[in-house]
Structure 1
């Protein structure tokens, strides 16, 4: 399965911010209801906390939207 890369320049990104950066949701305010309805796995584990910290190399599977990997790039 091919994963789309989502680049970050910080040490980590919170799951709610990640969903916005990846283009899955339009605003940060949509994160909580989205996480309540759509199954998400971070590194193979179910996750529904919008504050979950994602680091370089973490994989995120969003049901109906695809698979992603967090990639830290130089600023």
Structure 2
């Protein structure tokens, strides 16, 4: 499994944008299509909301990739 760490520099990031920012999707639109396919889980639950707010501490999985969302150290 490929593990990606994403440092969140704000309160949240939308799920489709997160997929774009880590390089899984080429665009926000492609990110939306990936989420709509039902292949994405957030904290172990299938997430179909394309603009779900992802916050620090959450884990997003798609296929063999795991994205750990990290908060910025104060």
Deviation beyond 4 Å, 4+ runs, structure 1: none
Unmatched 5+ residue regions in structure 1?
none
- TM-score by length of structure 2 reads 0.84
Cα RMSD (Å): 2.0
Q: Residues 38 and 63 of structure 1 are in contact (CA less than 8 Å); yes or no, is this contact kept in structure 2? A: no
User: How many equivalent residue pairs?
Assistant: 74
TM-score (norm 1): 0.83
* Residues in 2 aligned to 1:24 and 1:38: alpha-carbon distance in whole angstroms: 15
Structure 2 unaligned segments of length 5 or more: list them: none
